[in-house]
C-alpha cells in the first residue's frame, strides 16, 4: 500500500468532501453551456492529487512515469475519472435542488463503488485504522473519490449540500455550514459580490426611473 493509505484528516479541501472538491476544482463554470475542463492530460490529474494531499512526491513521480509508459491505459483511466466526476456532479446537483438523483447515475456510482471496494483495504494508523488503496495504479483516483461520494450520500451532511446560485452557470457545489442554512454562493468575494453589485445597479436604475416620472 502507498501514500494514499494515511490521508484521513490531512486533505486540503474547500468544501469538506473530496468528491465535491473534484467537481469544483477540475472544471470551471460546471453548470454552464461551456464548462472549462482543467484535466487535459494525466499529469493534470496527478497534480490535482498532490494539491489536495492525496499523493506525495514519490507516488506522483511513479504515476506520471507509468502514464508515460502506458499512454493508452492512462487515457482510458482519465475517461473513467471524468465519467465518475460527472456522475457525482449530477447526483449532488440534484440533491442540492432537493430533487431525486437520476437512477442511472446512482447505478453507475454503485458500479464504481463495487470496483473501489475490490481495490480497498484497511491499514493501521496512529488512531486506529484507515481505508487505503493501491496508489501505483492509473485508476488510483477512482477509489477514494467513490468512497467519498458514498460516505457523503449516507452522511448527516447530505441535506446541507448546495449549489452556487450564480445565473451564469458557476455550478460550485458546497456544504452549507451556516446556522441559518441560507448560503447561496460559492463565495461572497466572487459570485456573491457580483450579485450584490447587480442588485445595487438595478435599484439605482429603478430610482432614476421613478425620479424621471416625478419631474414636472
Q: Which CATH superfamily includes the segment(s) 3-178?
A: Jann2411-like domain (1.10.3300.10)
What is the rounded CA–CA span in Å between residue 24 and residue 20? 6
| 182 has a pLDDT exceeding 50 | yes
| 203 has a pLDDT exceeding 80 | no
pTM, to two decimals? 0.85
Q: What is the total residue count of the chain? A: 216
Query: At what angle are helices 71-96 and 103-118 packed, to 10 degrees?
Result: 130
pLDDT value at residue 212? 54
Query: At what angle are helices 57-69 and 71-96 packed, to 10 degrees?
Result: 120
- Cell, residue 23: 467537481
pLDDT value at residue 130? 79
Higher pLDDT among residues 15 and 107, named by residue: 107
| 52 has a pLDDT exceeding 80 | yes
- Cell, residue 12: 486540503
CB 49 within 8 A of CB 11: no
| 90-121: pLDDT as tens digits | 999 999 999 999 999 999 999 999 988 888 88
- Residue ranges of the domains in the chain? 3-178, 185-216
- Cell, residue 150: 458514498
Amino acid at each position: 500500500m502507498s501514500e494514499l493509505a494515511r490521508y484521513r484528516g490531512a486533505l486540503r479541501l474547500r468544501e469538506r468532501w473530496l468528491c465535491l472538491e473534484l467537481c469544483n476544482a477540475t472544471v470551471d463554470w460546471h453548470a454552464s453551456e461551456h464548462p472549462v475542463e482543467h484535466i487535459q492530460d494525466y499529469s493534470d490529474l496527478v497534480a490535482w492529487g498532490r494539491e489536495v494531499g492525496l499523493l506525495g512526491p514519490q507516488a506522483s513521480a511513479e504515476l506520471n512515469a507509468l502514464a508515460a509508459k502506458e499512454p493508452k491505459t492512462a487515457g482510458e483511466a482519465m475517461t473513467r475519472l471524468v465519467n465518475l466526476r460527472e456522475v457525482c456532479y449530477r447526483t449532488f446537483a440534484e440533491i442540492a435542488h432537493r430533487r431525486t438523483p437520476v437512477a442511472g447515475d446512482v447505478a453507475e456510482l454503485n458500479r464504481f463503488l463495487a470496483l473501489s471496494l475490490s481495490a480497498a483495504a484497511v491499514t493501521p494508523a496512529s488512531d486506529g485504522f484507515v481505508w487505503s488503496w493501491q496508489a501505483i495504479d492509473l485508476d488510483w483516483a477512482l477509489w477514494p473519490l467513490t468512497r467519498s461520494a458514498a460516505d457523503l450520500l449516507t452522511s448527516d451532511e447530505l441535506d446541507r449540500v448546495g449549489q452556487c446560485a450564480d445565473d451564469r452557470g458557476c455550478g460550485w457545489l458546497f456544504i452549507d455550514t451556516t446556522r441559518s442554512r441560507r448560503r447561496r454562493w460559492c463565495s461572497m468575494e466572487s459570485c456573491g459580490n457580483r450579485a450584490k453589485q447587480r442588485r445595487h445597479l438595478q435599484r439605482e436604475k429603478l430610482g432614476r426611473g421613478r425620479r424621471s416620472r416625478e419631474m414636472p
